[in-house]
Chains A and B, each alone.
Chain A
Amino acid sequence: DTAVSQTPKYLVTQMGNDKSIKCEQNLGHDTMYWYKQDSKKFLKIMFSYNNKELIINETVPNRFSPKSPDKAHLNLHINSLELGDSAVYFCASSRGGSQETQYFGPGTRLLVL
């Protein structure tokens, strides 16, 4: 069984469109995250939820909106896609806590044309 899964794996879309990426974890974790990896492989936190409550919201455009319907799911909706949004988006989960390992999904490769 996949611990952290994301759909879709690849997403190719036009500028201006709205798209969503879904993430699910079956590890029973309380905390979930979204990270963005740019073309140079640099990884940066975007959002974090703990028990469906937003606890981290880094400097991310308002066009990005996370939604957590329950503890096992954290979705990312992106409005009015721009060329610069092209990246790999990773979902992760953990038990929360500074010593806990974060488990990553396989990533969603978004290409905006």
Chain B
Amino acid sequence: GDSVTQMEGPVTLSEEAFLTINCTYTATGYPSLFWYVQYPGEGLQLLLKATKADDKGSNKGFEATYRKETTSFHLEKGSVQVSDSAVYFCALIGRGGSNYKLTFGKGTLLTVNP
């Protein structure tokens, strides 16, 4: 079945540091790929997505590129802020059928210190 493996946290960075959170996936065919963010005590918000190979999703300074050859979708940001502290989830939706469930990675807790 489909699965997502992402970097285990927690990750602690200083403000303005470079962020990378690794994410790889296993799926039949070419899934759609997502990064969701969960701020403390809140629900999940879509951060960015990519639906086909070589697409780059971007939002709020975060980027991730759909790499079919390495089955990866790593999240990057050039300069993190304290307000980026949250849990980040990599996820996919497989293709085919009417089953549109999100399959999530285990989440990575990011803490950014001033």
Contacts and interface: CB of A to CB of B under 8 A. Distances in A.
Interface string A53-70: 001101000000000000
A105 B45 CA distance: 9
A42 B93 contact: no
B89 A104 contact: no
Contact of A90 (B34, B43, B103): B43
A111 interface: no
B93 A106 contact: no
B42 interface: yes
A7 B31 CA distance: 32
B43 A33 contact: no
Contacts of B51: 98-99
Interface stretch (A12-20, A44-52, A77-85): A44-52
A3 to B, nearest CB: 10
Given A43-B104, A45-B102, A55-B98, A98 B31 contact: yes
B102 A41 contact: no
Contacts of A100: 100
Given A104-B44, A106-B42, A94 B87 contact: no
A4 B3 CA distance: 27
Interface residues of A, number: 30
Interface string B94-114: 111011111110110100000
A33 B107 contact: no
Contacts of A45: 101-103
Contact of B101 (A4, A48, A104): A48
B49 A101 contact: yes
Contacts of B89: 43
Contacts of A33: 101-102
A107 B107 CA distance: 17
Interface of B: 31-32, 34, 36, 38, 42-46, 49, 51, 87, 89, 93-96, 98-104, 106-107, 109
Given A45-B102, A98-B51, A101-B49, 9 more contacts: A43-B104, A45-B103, A92-B102, A96-B100, A97-B100, A98-B100, A101-B34, A101-B46, A104-B44
